[in-house]
A and B are shown apart, each in its own frame.
Chain A
Amino acid sequence: MSVQGKLTLLCDAKTDGSFLVHHFLSFYLKANCKVCLVALIQSFSHYNIVGQKLGVSLTAARERGQLVVLEGLKSGVDVFFRPREEPHPLQFLREANAGDLQPLYAFVRDALQPVDSGEAAWRCPVLLVDDLSVLLSLGVGPVAVLDFVHYCRATVCQEWKGNVVCLVHDSGDTEDEESDVLLNGLSHQSHLILRAEGLATGFCKDVHGQLRILWRRPLQPTTHRDRSLTYQYKIQDKSVSFFAKGMSPAVL
């Protein structure tokens, strides 16, 4: 794989960008990478069902050790029934002051740590987070989330030459300063930004939205024009079709 050591930011505005998470999950599993999925929004079975449509079995991947999943919805409850001394990745839920996400980082680090063993080595480690915006709702400050992503970048991207993919929501609400700081801070840290937007004219049956691709931090400084592309897309049952703006087969 040519793309390594990169932070890809998935962002959605006025639409649901989770199809991108499912895409990257199945893509990296098929590419034989070691994947850690921090699933804070949906249950494991949801990702599994969608994964099966895209041709991967998450259950099988988990059993053979290729996939490690932190199921936020389930383990979030565990936090309250465990003794306080035992560290838990979602420990911040228990604190009065949300504090930092070091335990979550420790979980990711332990899950993706390259192991020197006789078994078949996986290709580069990949961290997928779905999603980061929910952490703000759970009381974590935007700087704490940025620090968590910073450490993931330093360890997974820089040290282990793996990739990190995170989903964040653009609330579009100018009142939500924390969400803006998080989104902009992540954008500055990212190498590639994929932004799924609803169409300005509203819902459409044949064109579900628009995808803007922005390359930030290119290795060589290039002109701005070379760094961004826009496509429109339609989500189908087992795939997503992309086409240039205005070129949907339905409208030609």
Chain B
Amino acid sequence: QRSPPPPAPTQGSPCGSASAKDSVEWEGRSLLKALVKKSALRGEQVHVLGCEVSEEEFREGFDSNINSRLVYHDLFRDPLSWSKPGKALPGGPLEALRALDKRTVSGPATIALDSLSWLLHHLPCPTLCQTLHALSRQDSCPGDTPPGEQVRVLGLLHEELHGPGPLGALSSLAQTEVTLSGMMGQASAQILCRRPRQRPTHQTQWFSILPDFSLELQAEPPLESQPRSDPHTPSVDPTTHLTFNLHLSKKEREAKDSLTLPFQFSSEKQQALLRPGLGQATSHIFYEPDAYDDLDQEDPDDDLDV
């Protein structure tokens, strides 16, 4: 059974911007694609500003229904106008970003920025922040914009690539921040939601993304199970091919178990030591005194007052 969906940016909030922060270990593009798919299935048009992957790669995994609603603005092939003849979008990255604002088709739309990190590396941070703010400006006055015109902005951000300053600036722009991490192979999202005139809410949601980029939410974190053996590597028995014998035969095992160790002090041993009984070999000392030996019959301990 599925848990009720969280108040993620795609549900509940009429408009707004969200940033998904990922890392090398827990990549975020799959989540971005899953959210793009959700928007497309709702009938919205999705504009993707693609800086990091090719259009072919981004569209991979989506069926034709979703791909027909997806407009890919290609900043991957020639973002800096190095190619001759130029295949670049006119005006470079900044103009491409601003052009998203002037989309011709009306209706609710989602803008996905893949990625904010690339934009942050190539545009001055204040310029980027101002442009992003203008893109999602419907945030500040939801009453003015009719619901049909509202725009949702999703940005993918690679956490390790930026210092705290730019990261902080971009977080302050986003209404919802999703930070990706995980445990034991299961991905999780820490969701921080900021709504006007409300306290920020914090939530952790475990999820997985299916091969067709559907988002499946999990109710509980993964159980602390024993580490399962990896199906790809056959388990190797380290006791094969040894030059010494690690195994015991039945007789050897019996002999080993019945052996009393020399310094193991059992009650039988104690009795045997205190009372040498019949049949116990007693030891004799044979002493041949030399001519010069001084045999003193006195007990040297006599003068001890014990």
* Residues from chain B with Cβ under 8 Å of A187 in the complex: 24
Q: In whole Å, how far is B248's beta carbon from the nearest beta carbon of chain A?
A: 20
Is B95 part of the binding interface, using a Cβ–Cβ cutoff of 8 Å? no
A184–B121 contact, CB under 8 A?
no
Is B182 part of the binding interface, using a Cβ–Cβ cutoff of 8 Å? yes
Q: Given the known A-B contacts A180-B160, A188-B24, A217-B27, are A224 and B82 also in contact in the complex, defined by CB atoms under 8 Å?
A: no
Is A44 part of the binding interface, using a Cβ–Cβ cutoff of 8 Å? no
> Bound state CA distance, A189 and B232, in angstroms?
26
B21-47 Cβ-contact flags toward A at 8 Å (1 or 0): 000111101100000000000000000
A163-195 Cβ-contact flags toward B at 8 Å (1 or 0): 000000000000001001100110111000000
B182–A224 contact, CB under 8 A?
yes
> Bound state CA distance, A158 and B266, in angstroms?
79
> Bound state CA distance, A189 and B52, in angstroms?
7
B241–A221 contact, CB under 8 A?
no
B238–A247 contact, CB under 8 A?
yes
* Residues from chain B with Cβ under 8 Å of A229 in the complex: 232-233
Q: Given the known A-B contacts A180-B160, A252-B238, are A223 and B60 also in contact in the complex, defined by CB atoms under 8 Å?
A: no
Neighbour of A225 across the interface among B26, B185, B211, CB < 8 A: B185
Q: In whole Å, how far is A4's beta carbon from the nearest beta carbon of chain B?
A: 13
Q: Which of B73-81, B170-178, B195-203, B283-291 contacts A (4 or more CB under 8 A)?
A: B73-81
Count of residues in A whose CB is under 8 Å from the partner chain: 32
What DSSP secondary structure best describes chain B's contact surface? loop
Neighbour of B161 across the interface among A154, A184, A225, A244, CB < 8 A: A184
Q: In whole Å, how far is B23's beta carbon from the nearest beta carbon of chain A?
A: 8
Q: Given the known A-B contacts A146-B121, A247-B236, A247-B238, are A221 and B24 also in contact in the complex, defined by CB atoms under 8 Å?
A: no
> Bound state CA distance, A20 and B242, in angstroms?
32
Q: Using a CB–CB distance below 8 Å, which chain B residues touch chain A?
A: 24-27, 29-30, 52, 54, 56-57, 60-61, 76-80, 82, 117, 121-122, 158, 160-161, 163, 182, 184-187, 208-211, 213, 230, 232-233, 236, 238, 241-242
Q: A151-B80, A154-B76, A158-B57 are in contact. List 7 more A-B contacts (CB 8 A).
A: A143-B121, A147-B79, A147-B80, A188-B27, A221-B213, A224-B25, A225-B185
Q: 19 A-B contacts, Cβ less than 8 Å apart?
A: A102-B80, A146-B121, A151-B82, A154-B77, A180-B160, A184-B24, A184-B158, A184-B161, A185-B117, A188-B52, A217-B27, A217-B29, A221-B209, A224-B25, A224-B187, A225-B185, A225-B230, A226-B232, A252-B242
Q: Using a CB–CB distance below 8 Å, which chain A residues touch chain B?
A: 100, 102, 105-106, 143, 146-147, 150-151, 154, 158, 177, 180-181, 184-185, 187-189, 216-217, 219-221, 223-226, 229, 244, 247, 252
